[in-house]
């Protein structure tokens, strides 16, 4: 009889030790460790010079009137950028047709190893009918660029091959913190 009571007590103790409270505590500990790693990588971030040279093709499309009222631009190119190596770029722009308002513009740079760097455009100044200067702001990405920040100025020259598309070349420099 004593053995049965002992086995029953050990079974109850084992079940109690495996309760959901310990799982919740383990999950909370894991979450805290993840946050600590993220804080650590942000604290270790270093600001570095950034340069880019790229070229590619662009196309203009009429907007749908809802998500993009006026004009959509898609630009796809490749080139070299510091900290990315040989890379590809995708720019998507939804112009709303209202004066100097840039609308929604995004830039995605993909490094040779697959890491991605995201950016947005904050300023544009047309210096001629086929060239402009602009400021881009980095706002994260994937891989080593997960919490990246920074900014760069670029000069862009466009050549229209057709009424709705053509080629571009760009060069820029600034800073990148990651």
Q: CA distances (Å), 79 to each of 55, 124, 129, 172, in order?
A: 6, 21, 24, 12
The residue ranking higher by pLDDT, 28 or 130, is 130
Buried b (16+ CB within 10 A) or exposed e, 132-171: bebbbbbbebeeebeebbbebebebebeeeeeebbebbbe
Q: Which residues pair with 29 in a beta bridge?
A: none
Q: What share of the chain in percent tops pLDDT 90?
A: 60
Place of tokens 């009918």: 129
pLDDT band per the 50, 70, 90 thresholds, residue 6: very low
21-75 pLDDT, tens digit per residue, is 554 555 656 566 655 655 555 578 999 999 999 999 999 999 888 888 888 999 9
Average pLDDT over residues 111-132: 93
Q: What is the pLDDT of the chain when averaged over all its residues?
A: 84
- Three-state secondary structure call for residue 22: helix
Q: Do 169 and 139 contact (CB within 8 A), yes or no?
A: no
pLDDT band per the 50, 70, 90 thresholds, residue 16: low
Q: Do 136 and 148 contact (CB within 8 A), yes or no?
A: no
140-169 pLDDT, tens digit per residue, is 999 999 999 999 999 999 999 999 999 999
Q: What share of the chain in percent tops pLDDT 70?
A: 74
Average pLDDT over residues 96-101: 70
Average pLDDT over residues 81-107: 86
pLDDT band per the 50, 70, 90 thresholds, residue 116: very high
- Whether the model pTM is above 0.75: no
């Amino acid at each position: 009889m004593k053995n049965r009571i002992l086995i029953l007590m050990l079974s109850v103790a084992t079940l109690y030790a495996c309760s959901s409270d310990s799982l919740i505590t383990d999950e909370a500990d894991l979450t805290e460790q993840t946050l600590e790693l993220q804080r650590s990588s942000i604290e270790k971030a270093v600001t570095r010079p950034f340069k880019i040279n790229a070229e590619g093709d662009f196309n203009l499309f009429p907007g749908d009137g809802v998500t993009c009222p006026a004009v959509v631009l898609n630009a796809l190119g490749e080139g070299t950028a510091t900290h990315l190596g040989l890379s590809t770029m995708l720019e998507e722009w939804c112009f709303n047709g209202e004066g100097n308002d840039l609308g929604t513009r995004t830039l995605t740079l993909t490094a040779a190893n697959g890491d991605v760097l995201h950016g947005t455009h904050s300023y544009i100044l047309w210096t001629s009918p086929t060239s402009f200067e602009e400021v881009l702001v980095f706002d994260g990405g994937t891989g080593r660029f997960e919490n990246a920040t920074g900014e760069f100025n670029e000069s862009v020259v466009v050549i229209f091959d057709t009424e709705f598309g053509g080629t571009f070349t760009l060069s820029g420099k600034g800073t990148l913190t990651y």
